[in-house]
Amino acid sequence: MEKSGSKRVVITGVSGYLASWVLKYFLESDQNFEIRGTVRDSTNVAKVNPLREAIGADFDCVELVSADITDKKAIDKAVEGCHYVIHTASPVLERAPKDPELLYKPAVEGTQAVLEACRKHKVERLVVTSSLITIVDYDKLEDEDTVTEKDWLESFDPNSPYPESKLRAEKAVWKFLEELPEEEKFDILTLHPGFILGPLLFKNNSVSPNFGAKVMQGKMPGIPDIHLLMVDVRDIAMAHLLAVTSGAKTGRYIVNEDHHPGISIGEIFYEEFGKYGYKPNRKKLKHCLVKLAACCIKDVRPVLKYWGKKVSADHSKSVKELGMKYRTQRETIVDMGYSLIEHGMVKDRTKKKKS
Ligand SMILES: NC(=O)c1ccc[n+]([C@@H]2O[C@H](COP(=O)([O-])OP(=O)(O)OC[C@H]3O[C@@H](n4cnc5c(N)ncnc54)[C@H](OP(=O)(O)O)[C@@H]3O)[C@@H](O)[C@H]2O)c1
C-alpha cells in the first residue's frame, strides 16, 4: 500500500555499481520515497545478498522485482504505479562482444520498453543514465576543446560498439519525446557522466571497479598517455536524486568533475597506498606500443583517438540547475582504493604494515 504523501520511484538494474549508490541516496533522502528496484532475477542471491548487506536494514523497505530490460511486460509491470523512473540498467562490458547486438539490443530495447511503460503509466519524470560518450566525439575534437550539452557523437567505430549503444538509446529517448502528443509529454532528463570511479558498496565485478583494482595492483600493462573525463560514483549517483528533487527541466546534463591524465589514477593510488607496499601502475604506455597492440587487439584501437587531446566537458548546467557539487579526483581515487581493500577486490596490506 502507498504511504501517504510518498512518491514511488523505480530504479532499473539496482544491483549495479552506480545504481546501488543511487538506491542508497534515494533511501537516505528525506523525501519519503517508496522504492522499487529491478534486477534480472530477484531470486539470484549471489546478486541480491551483497546489495542487501551493503544497504542494511533499509533494504527491507525496497520492493525488489525481476525484470530483464528487454522484457517489455516485466518492465511495464515494474513501472506501474510509479511517479518517477531512474533507468540506469544497460550493459557495460570490459571487451567489445563479437556481436554488437548484444549491446545494442538491451540498451535500445530496454530504453524503449521503459519509455513506453512511462507513457502508459503516466510517469511524471524519467531520468536516464546516458554517458559523456554520446557527447564527446574525439574524431572531430581538437586538443583543449570544451564540449557542452549541445554536442553529439557523430562518428562510429565498429571496434567499439558501446558508445553506439548509448547513443542509440539516447536518440530513442529524444525521438520518443518529440513524437509524443503534447498532452502526454513528461519530463525526461539524460545524465552524462565521464568514466565513473570511486568507492563501491560491495564486491562488484563491473568494469569501473575492476579497472580500479587492476591499476591499484599494477596489473595493467601500463597506462596510455591520454586524458580521461572522470566523475565520482557518489556524485553521479547524487545527480540521479537531484534530477528528481531539484525540479530541473527536461534535457541533457553533463555530470562530470573534470579531465585528468590517465596516469594520475596510478599516481594517486601510489601517494596514498605506496607506503603499504602497493605498486600501482604508474608507467605511461608509449604511443607506438599502443599502436602496435591496436593492430592485433581491437579493444585497444579506440584509445588511439584520445591521444594528445585534453577535452573538457562544461558541467556548469549541472551545478546551476541540479545543484551539483563535485568531489576532487584525489578523494575519488583514495576512497576507491580503501573500498577495494574493504570489499576484498584488492589484498589488504594496510594492517600488516601498521602492526
Ligand atoms: N562505469 C562507467 O564508467 C560509466 C560511464 C558512463 C555511463 N555509464 C552508465 O551507467 C550505467 C551503470 O553502469 P555501471 O558502471 O554501474 O555498470 P554495471 O555495474 O555493470 O551496471 C549495469 C547494470 O545494468 C544491468 N543490466 C545490463 N543488461 C541488462 C538486462 N538485459 N536486463 C536487466 N539488467 C541489465 C546489469 O545487471 P547484471 O549485473 O545482472 O548484468 C547491472 O545491474 C549504465 O547505463 C552505463 O552505461 C557507466
**Which tens digits make up the pLDDT trace of 46-81?**
999 999 999 999 999 999 999 999 999 999 999 999
Residue of 63, 73, 165, 164 whose CA lies nearest to 113: 73
CA-to-CA separations, 56 to 49, 53, 201, in angstroms, rounded: 10, 5, 11
Rounded distance from Cα 14 to ligand 1 centre (Å): 9
Rounded distance from Cα 277 to ligand 1 centre (Å): 33
Q: Are strands 227-232 and 258-261 parallel, antiparallel or unpaired?
A: antiparallel
What pLDDT was estimated at residue 354? 53
Atom of ligand 1 nearest to the CA of 87: 45
CA-to-CA separations, 269 to 213, 234, 312, 348, 354, in angstroms, rounded: 10, 19, 23, 14, 18
Rounded distance from Cα 274 to ligand 1 centre (Å): 31
> Which contiguous run of DSSP H or E holds residue 261?
strand 258-261
> Which contiguous run of DSSP H or E holds residue 146?
strand 146-147
Q: How many Å apart are CA 162 and CA 90, to the nearest integer?
A: 10
Rounded distance from Cα 84 to ligand 1 centre (Å): 19
Cα angle 33-39-41, degrees, rounded to a multiple of 5: 135
Residue of 187, 189, 196 whose CA lies nearest to 236: 196
Residue of 218, 34, 250 whose CA lies nearest to 128: 250
Atom of ligand 1 nearest to the CA of 41: 40
Which stretches of the chain drop beneath a pLDDT of 70? Answer: 1-4, 352-355
What pLDDT was estimated at residue 237? 98
Atom of ligand 1 nearest to the CA of 132: 6
* C-beta atoms surrounding 69 within 10 Å: 25
Count of H-run helices and E-run strands, the chain? 14, 14
Ligand 1 pocket mutation, candidates 11, 12, 15, 18, criterion most atoms within 8 A of CB: 18
Residue of 1, 20, 98 whose CA lies nearest to 339: 20
What pLDDT was estimated at residue 308? 81
Residue of 258, 25, 11 whose CA lies nearest to 128: 11
What pLDDT was estimated at residue 337? 98
Q: How many Å apart are CA 342 and CA 209, to the nearest integer?
A: 13
Instruction: Determine which residue's CA is closest to atom 11 belonging to ligand 1.
Output: 88
For ligand 1, residues with CB inside 6 Å are: 13, 15-19, 40, 68-70, 88-92, 106, 129, 131, 166, 193, 195-196, 206-208
Query: Looking at this protein, which amino acid is placed at residue 277?
Result: G
Domains and CATH numbers, the chain: 8-349 (3.40.50.720)
DSSP 192: E
Rounded distance from Cα 7 to ligand 1 centre (Å): 25
Q: Which residues of 158-188 are buried (b: 16+ CB within 10 A; e: fewer)?
A: eebbbbbbbbbbbebbeebbeeeeeeeebbb
Q: Is the pTM of this model over 0.95?
A: yes
